[in-house]
Structure 1
Amino acid sequence: MVRLSNGYPTKFKPSRWNIAHATFYGDDTASETMGGACGYGNLFKNGYGTDTAAVSTVLFKNGYGCGTCYQLMCAYSKWCNPRKGHGGFPIITVTATNLCPPNWGKDSNAGGWCNPPRTHFDLSMPAFKKIAFWKAGIVPVQYRRVPCGKKGGIRFSFQGNNYWLLAYVMNVGGAGDIAKMWVKGSRTGWISMSHNWGASYQAFAQLGGQSLTFKLQSYTTRQVIVAYNVVPPYWNTGMTYQAKVNFR
């Protein structure tokens, strides 16, 4: 069941095209992109694949930018991949799964690509090669926020114990991001969860042996969704549970 807050949009619409730059990290295996600051773990196993990006601080937003999706196209560079797309340039859609940290030892225009206030995308190598030749190292891009088209429901991966629940939220559709989160046990009322880091939220409460319902609010649209009894009473840490609902 989806419940929307009155006065908020029900769907996330693409933004305007803006200008930034893109680099890449790792190699063709994309092994170095696994894990990351959002806490998504194995990106292949959890549905993100290699079309991912580590984003600069201004886009990461202290973790509230985790899960956001962007269309990127290499533009006006001799290094652009010649495959056709929007305006004759190739386009990819990537999900923000990691932070590209500042490098204060280098100038923002000469190696410190992710220094604030720059908007920058550090792509996996396979994603970068879809829009440009890897030898370029860095290319100008146009980008825009787009809805995240995800298959299946939102996933909740657990760590913690019976008295402390840490939930990583993955596979979020719509705007892709989470601003607030609540949990309700079968023997409790709603408990507000605090933002831990990346895409994880925590509750200091005794929730063992209870079925769990989660309520989430999008950071961008403020849309609210409730996943009723998504977790059975015999839940365990180290497990991932999938809801039947998602943001639109």
Structure 2
Amino acid sequence: MVLLSTLCYSQDDFVKSRATYYGSPDCLGTPKGACGFGEYGRTVNDANVAAVSCRLYKNGTGCGACYQVRCTNPQLCTDDGVNIVVTDYGEGDNTDFILSPRAYSRMAQSDRASELYAYGVVEVEYKRVPCRYSGYKLQFKVHEHSKYPNYLAIVVLYQAGRTEILDAQVWQADCKEWIGMRRAYGAVFDTTSPPSGYVSLRFQVSGGAGVYWVEAANALPGNWEAGVAYESDVELE
């Protein structure tokens, strides 16, 4: 079986590219990112976040992925660079990464961030790395655009490991079957026919163990509310 996440290079190899940064008055992420993370996208991973190119964004499947990004100028940059979380889509000047100002500065050696900023665009190399969120399990946030009880949109938060969410389904107890949810955009899945009572969800995940389904029984209460994130017992690796 060919895994859906298979790339033409090993995930342990660094890939050469370019990176820049976006303007932000507080150096944090943006709540308007294409992944639909909202405020979570501003501060997750200590605001070390990035918008990525089409080939890494993957029509939203790449949302929540983590990468190690390091610039290749040894006079200015550290060997380790920075680990970022994908929260947005964006391209410019042949870049794969548009980093938050905080993430961009953390590629630099101590006290040399201002010199790195002056470059604007730098040569980098990157590789996929596992996401790690100590103390957090997978959360399902009811998107602010949801309208109880007729329209439910969810976004997955704290997606650990080297995983990608390929598909989402909701359990319809009346007909005793899983019904597909639409990927509305980014990491947001929705349905115009949410079940009454507790909401059970399952997700098709691509990761180190291949492609598999992860189920979250009673992931949302029957009286779910827009804007609220509900923690699950699910842990991805």
Tell me the TM-score normalised to structure 1 length: 0.78
Q: Quick one: distance in 1 between partners of 2:126 and 2:190? A: 33
Cα distance change on mapping 1:242 and 1:211 into 2, 3 Å = same
Give the alignment partner of residue 234 of structure 1, picking from 217, 223, 228.
223
Q: Quick one: distance in 1 between partners of 2:130 and 2:148? A: 34
The corresponding residue for 2:156 is 169
Q: SS of 2:147's equivalent?
A: strand
Q: Which runs of 5+ in 1 are unaligned?
A: 1-5, 84-88, 102-111
Q: SS of 1:59's equivalent?
A: helix
Q: SS of 1:61's equivalent?
A: helix
Give the alignment partner of residue 99 of structure 2, picking from 117, 123, 141.
123
Give the alignment partner of residue 179 of structure 1, picking from 145, 166, 188.
166
Q: Quick one: distance in 1 between partners of 2:206 and 2:181? A: 15
Q: Is 1:27 matched with 2:17? A: no
Amino acid aligned to 1:36: G
Percent pairwise identity: 28
Q: SS of 1:49's equivalent?
A: helix
Higher relative contact order (CA 8 A, sep 6+): 1
The corresponding residue for 1:196 is 184
Asked whether the 8 Å contact 2:29–2:47 carries over to 1, the reply is no
1:53 Cα offset (Å): 0.6
1:180 Cα offset (Å): 0.4
Give the alignment partner of residue 207 of structure 1, picking from 195, 205, 224.
195
Cα deviations across residues 36-73 of structure 1 (Å, max 9, x unaligned)?
00011113677343110100111111111111110111
The corresponding residue for 2:71 is 74
Cα distance change on mapping 1:240 and 1:185 into 2, 3 Å = farther
Give the alignment partner of residue 83 of structure 2, picking from 87, 90, 93.
93
Q: SS of 1:218's equivalent?
A: strand
Q: Quick one: distance in 1 between partners of 2:138 and 2:43? A: 11
Q: Which runs of 5+ in 2 are unaligned?
A: 4-9, 109-115
After TM superposition, list the pairs within 5 Å mapping 1:43-82 onto structure 2: 43=40, 47-76=44-73, 78=75, 80-81=76-77
Q: Is 1:155 matched with 2:139? A: yes
Q: Quick one: distance in 2 between partners of 1:129 and 1:45? A: 16
Q: Quick one: distance in 1 between partners of 2:202 and 2:224? A: 18
Cα distance change on mapping 1:168 and 1:46 into 2, 3 Å = farther
1:128 Cα offset (Å): 0.4
Cα distance change on mapping 1:126 and 1:206 into 2, 3 Å = closer
Asked whether the 8 Å contact 1:186–1:211 carries over to 2, the reply is no
User: How many residues of Structure 1 are paired with residues of Structure 2 in the alignment?
Assistant: 218
Amino acid aligned to 1:24: Y
Cα deviations across residues 147-168 of structure 1 (Å, max 9, x unaligned)?
1112322111112331221111
The corresponding residue for 1:216 is 203
Q: Quick one: distance in 1 between partners of 2:172 and 2:224? A: 12
* RMSD of aligned residue pairs (Cα, Å): 2.6
Q: SS of 2:182's equivalent?
A: strand
Amino acid aligned to 2:232: A
Amino acid aligned to 1:214: L
Q: Quick one: distance in 2 between partners of 1:183 and 1:153? A: 20
Q: Is 1:141 matched with 2:124? A: yes
Cα distance change on mapping 1:37 and 1:206 into 2, 3 Å = closer
